[in-house]
Structure 1
Amino acid sequence: MARDLYEVLGVSREATEDEIKKAFRRRARELHPDVNKAPDAEEQFKELNEAYDVLSDAQKRSAYDRFGTVPGATGGGSYGGGYVDFEDLFGGGFGMGDIFSSFFGGAAGGRTPQRKEGRDMGVGLRLSLEEVAAGAKKEIVYDRLAPCPDCDGSGMGPDGREVTCPDCHGQGRVVTVQRTFLGDMQTAATCKSCGGTGRTIENPCPECEGQGRVPDRQRVTVEVPVGIRDAQQLRLSGFGEAGMHGARPGDLIVTVRIQPHEFFERDGDNLHARANVSIVQAALGAEIEIDGIFEGEKVQVRIPEGCQNEQVVRVRNFGMPKFRSDSRGDMLVHVNVVVPKKVTKKQRELLERLAQEMGEDVADARTPLQKLRDAFN
């Protein structure tokens, strides 16, 4: 971000959000490598995208206005500052460059496009186990072809209207006659002027060039239900790619990805945890306290008398909240019996007396000098 970002977009520092969007789309049409064959077009488009990534986000723009830079900005489109991982359903993530490539591939120049429905788009949303247990609201920021705000998706300008195509006279195809030595041969081809629809737009919308959709950065809040499973999907109707000429938009499909937890391991609705106990607690039994999945939650675990290493103790109703239910799973506590590496002299004496009582042989850890002193005493 060496250059002034407002200069890159060609707007003033007082520019509104709408003015920034329009300036970006205008400059992107000029600089996109699909239409601009200059050697540095790709680099300029990347710089433009970085500028828009900052100035289209209120927090990033505020930081840039104050400090002249944005902490943590990496360029190339942040896609929501780490909220999501983009996993396009057809393979590969969507960037603004891909969006513009789709835009340039659509109908333009006054043609009335076919009512082509928008594609579904997919994102992967990363969540912690605590967020899944409590439910969460997450903001997703992503690039898509959105309905044109200037024409409400119709593709028509202020005085625009649909008219019969003058080239094919509403037939959608053009017949040409070629004279050969065998006689006249007729061929029919799709009309290039109307794309086979038989209709064209008179005075198309200048913002979307008659498509009814424009590249844009979308923000949407996703409500994640309590107890959702890893790889489960949420469908946001109408938030995918906008359809052409007012056709039905696609959906945004959010795939939940739950991050590993440092203490708990999820198994369906149950939670597995580990707890350390001493050999005395394992032998005599004890009641210990461990943290639960909710903030501030404490779980009382009853260690049975004679508990063995790796024994599993079940605590009812302290697991994960069940999906669309008021009940919870269980917590399964795996007991780890900890043997002390060093003991005091008194502790050793007590353990030796216990071993003698139980008829068990133990190693004598005294040095020869200690044995000699004990013999004289």
Structure 2
Amino acid sequence: MAKDLYEVLGVSRDASEAEIKKAFRHKARELHPDVNKAPNAEDQFKELNEAYDVLSDANKRAQYDRFGTIPGAAGSSPYGGGSGYVDFEDLFGGGFGGMGDIFSTFFGGSAGGGRTVRKEGRDMGIGLRLTLEEVARGVKKEIVYDRLAPCPDCDGSGLGEGGREVTCPECNGKGRVVTVQRTFLGDMQSSSTCPKCHGTGSSIENPCPECEGQGRVPDRQKVSVEVPAGVRDGQQLRVSSFGEAGMQGAAAGDLIVTVRIQPHEFYERDGEDLHVQVSVPMVQAALGAEIEVDGIFDDEEVPVRIPEGTQNGQVIRCKGFGMPRLRSDARGDLYVHVEVEIPRRLSKREREILEELADEMGEDVSEARSPLQKLRDMF
């Protein structure tokens, strides 16, 4: 039997969202493979991640509480929540593939090893998949993703109770230390990152126990993104300060949202113009007709005039029925590509009419017909 997700996180079934987040962070610090060298640490961390993924999402948690299954798992109920339209991208060095990568960054931010710690948060990149209809009308999307966010216990300062930031006594606030080594060639002087403050020039007395003095913690973030009508595939939208949080109150990075437009079943986009293929019966193509095609907006019908004598492959322009232009009331055009439809089977009367037309137009269409074809024409 699958483990109880509440038991995995070590919380009660009526635990609040804040309690679930705090329990996850504490257990993740214990189980992350960067810290825990036990053989099964990675499996336990994955199990913990799965439990948090479900219980931190209101829709998924409600389904789990009701059905006892993990949303999205084989054999589970199909009523799961979640975004389902986000791809993480490694933009500007700040993209993350999940909580495992974020905890690695978190531990790296407080680790030694002679590395200089970057205090400012990095930009993060996310790809947002949209339909062509959503792009045409503009849409507001809620994105759910993982990031290093300001610590809620210390408001991002990194200070615990009675804590304060002091100048690093090891480097006197310079962030680097100079060492002198005696060699047979004389004294050799070298400079390296301060091992105590990791290059920041300061240290914290009585750091916040929740974030270990960093001022940021791994968290699941929700943000609403306004996508304007008319954006193009690959276009980027910047959400200020929703990237990686800075250390100890330093500036946060931005969230860079890259629009990814899904292929459409009927329409093909070319800038602000749309192209669509429409089948037209040969009689309408020959005599001309007025038809309607569905527009890109809901309930929009586009009138299309089929000129007399329209040929197969002919393109008809419908001005002003394409995609909206970005930040404008204007629209591109709709180009209708005509495919003249030739009937595969004719009734006896239809054949007679076409043969009369061929005779009138001086076209020779006589050919030997099999007894089976003649019998079929009779019926």
TM-score by length of 2: 0.89
Contact 2:59 2:82 in 1 (8 A): no
What's the counterpart of residue 41 of structure 1?
Answer: 41
User: Secondary structure in 2 aligned to 1:105?
Assistant: helix
Per the alignment, do residues 35 and 281 of structure 1 end up closer, same or farther by CA in structure 2, a change over 3 Å counting? same
C-alpha displacement of 1:196: 3.9
Could you say which residue in structure 2 is the equivalent of 1:319? Answer: 322
Counterpart in the other structure of 2:138: 135
Tell me: CA distance 1:107–1:79, structure 2 relative to 1, closer, same or farther (3 Å). Answer: farther
Equivalent AA in structure 2 for residue 83 of structure 1: Y
Amino acid at match of 2:359: Q
Number of the residue aligned with 1:192: 195
- Summarize deviations over 1:307-342 as a string: whole Å, max 9, x none: 000001111111111111111111110111111111
Task: Call closer, same or farther: CA 1:191–1:322 in 2, change over 3 Å.
Answer: closer
Relative to structure 1, the CA distance from residue 269 to residue 365 in structure 2 (aligned partners, 3 Å threshold; closer, same or farther) is farther
Residues 99 and 215, structure 1, Cα contact 8 Å, conserved in 2: yes
Contact 2:293/2:302 (<8 A) preserved: yes
Correspondence for 1:267 among 262, 265, 270: 270
Where 1:45 maps in the other structure, the secondary structure is helix
Query: Is the contact made by 1:83 and 1:138 (CA closer than 8 Å) also made in structure 2?
Result: no
In 1, the alpha carbon distance for the partners of 2:199 and 2:40 equals: 36
**How far apart are the structure 1 equivalents of 2:325 and 2:183?**
76
- Taking the TM superposition and a 5 Å limit, the aligned residue runs for 1:1-377 are 2-73=2-73, 80-89=82-91, 90=93, 93-107=96-110, 116-168=119-171, 170=173, 172=175, 189-364=192-367, 366-367=369-370
| Contact kept in structure 1, 2:96 and 2:124, CA below 8 Å | no
CA RMSD, Structure 1 to Structure 2 (Å): 2.7
Distance 1:170 1:313, change over 3 A: closer
Gaps of 5+ in 2: 375-379
Matching residue's letter, 1:348:
R
Assess, with a 3 A threshold, how the Cα gap between structure 1 residues 253 and 366 changes in structure 2: closer, same or farther: same
Q: Cα 1:85–1:169, aligned 2, differ >3 Å: closer, same or farther?
A: closer
Cα distance change, pair 285–159 in 1 and its aligned pair in 2 (3 A): same
Aligned to 1:375: none
**Displacement, 1:234?**
0.3
Q: How far is 1:189 from its partner? A: 4.8
Q: What's 2:377 paired with?
A: none
Q: Distance in 1 between matches of 2:146 and 2:178?
A: 41
Bigger drift between 223-232 and 163-172 goes to 163-172
CA distance in 1, matches of 2:280, 2:170: 86
CA distance in 1, matches of 2:245, 2:340: 60
| 1:71 shift after superposition | 3.3
Instruction: Flag the 1:195–1:302 CA change in 2: closer, same or farther, 3 A.
Output: same
Gaps of 5+ in 1: 372-377
Provide the C-alpha distance between the structure 2 equivalents of 1:262 and 1:278, rounded to a whole number of angstroms: 22
- Distance between the aligned counterparts of 1:218 and 1:370, measured in 2? 70
SS of corresponding position for 1:282: helix
Give how far 1:175 is off. Answer: 5.9
TM-score of the aligned structures, taking structure 1 as reference length: 0.90
User: In structure 2, what is the equivalent of residue 374 of structure 1?
Assistant: none
Partner deviation per Cα, 1:182-218 (whole Å, 9 max, x = no partner): 8887766543222244432111000100011111111
Residues 29, 353 of structure 1: CA spacing in aligned structure 2 closer, same or farther, 3 A cutoff? Answer: same
Could you tell me whether the CA contact under 8 Å between 1:80 and 1:142 is conserved in 2?
A: no
Structure 1 residue matching 2:238: 3-state secondary structure: strand
Task: Write the deviation string for residues 216-259 of structure 1: whole angstroms up to 9, x where unpaired.
Answer: 11111111100111111101110111111111111110110111
Per-residue deviation at 1:81? Answer: 3.4
